Amino acid sequence: MAQPRNKIKVLLAQFPLETHSRGIITVAGMLKDAGMEVVLIGNELPERIIDAAIQEDVDVVGISTYCGGELALADDLMKAAEEKGIKESTVFLLGGIFPPKNIPKLKEMGFDGTFLSTTKEEIVSCIEKAIASKRRR
Partner 1 sequence: MELASRVLQGDTIAAAKLISGIEDEVPSAREEMSYLYPHTGKAYVIGITGSPGAGKSTLTNNLIGFFRAQGMSVGVIAIDPTSAFTGGAILGDRVRMQHHSADKDVFIRSLATRGWVGGLAKATTGAIHVMDALGKDVILVETVGSGQIEIDITRAADTTLLVLTPAAGDAIQMMKAGILEAADIFVINKADKGGADLLKTDLEAMLAMRAQPANGWRPGIVLTEAIYDKGTEELGEEILRHREFLISSGELGRRQRERVKLELMETVEGFLKDFVHEVDKGDYLSRLIDDLTQGKTNPHAAALEIIRRLAKELSRLEDSGKAGRPKA
Per CB under 8 A, residues contacting partner 1 are 1-7, 9, 28-29, 31-42, 44, 48, 51-52, 54-57, 84-86
What's the min distance (Å) between Cβ of 101 and partner 1?
32
Q: What stretches of 5-45 show up as alpha helix (H) in DSSP?
A: 22-33
Q: Left (φ > 0), alpha (ψ -120 to 50) or beta: where does 49 sit?
A: alpha
CB of 135 to partner 1, least distance (A): 14
- Closest CB 7 distance from partner 1, rounded Å: 7
**Closer residue to partner 1, CB minimum distance, 29 or 69:** 29
Question: Which of residues 106 and 123 has its CB atom nearest to partner 1 in the complex?
Answer: 123
CB 135 within 8 A of CB 117: no
Nearer Cβ to partner 1, position 33 or 107? 33
Specify which residues 12 forms β-bridges with.
Answer: 40, 62
**Shortest Cβ 103–partner 1 spacing (Å):** 28
Query: What is the nearest approach in angstroms of partner 1 to the Cβ of residue 42?
Result: 5
Are the C-beta atoms of residues 118 and 62 closer than 8 Å to each other? Answer: no
Between 30 and 103, name the residue whose CB sits nearer to partner 1: 30
Residues shown for the chain: 137
* Count of beta carbons in the 10 Å neighbourhood of residue 99: 11
Q: Which residues contact 76 (CB under 8 A, 6 or more apart)?
A: 46, 47
50 vs 109 by CB, closer to partner 1: 50
